[in-house]
Amino acid sequence: NNLRHWVDNHMPQGFYTSGELNEYIKAAIPIAIKLTQMLVDETQTEPAIKLTSCNDLSIEFSAGEVIGIAALRTSQVIGTLDRLASLGAILSELFSGCVLPSRNAEAASGCLDELVLGANEDQKTGMLSYD
């Protein structure tokens, strides 16, 4: 079972109450803690592996408790800062249910780069008001 399947099966869908969302968050917090601990332990014993989404992680439960999280792929070794960014993307996906776009996809779509690069305040306001 990978973490993406867990998110899909547990994230409230459609119209949901704040209580349903709170229950999801309470269930996701132990996973986030275990994932963070796994990454801390990993960097002390072996090279850091880039993770791009919850699809890259398997998750094990016993009696409703998270007992393990492991990386499914070992494709690219990365440095500490990239690993922190990777953790941030995974945690964002865990709590929001949405996969963050990659830097390459964001640059190709121009979603943030056009606003930041070379635009003055009037241009930024105009771009935002027509979106």
Q: What is the pLDDT of residues 74-131, one digit of tens each?
A: 556 677 777 778 888 889 999 998 887 765 554 444 444 444 444 455 544 444 444 4
State the pLDDT at residue 29: 94
- Burial string for 59-95 (b: 16+ CB within 10 Å, else e) reads beeeeeebeebebeeeeeeeeeeebeebbebbbebbb
Cβ-contact 42, 87 below 8 angstroms: no
Predicted TM-score (pTM) of this structure: 0.68
State the pLDDT at residue 64: 79
What rounded mean pLDDT belongs to the chain? Answer: 74
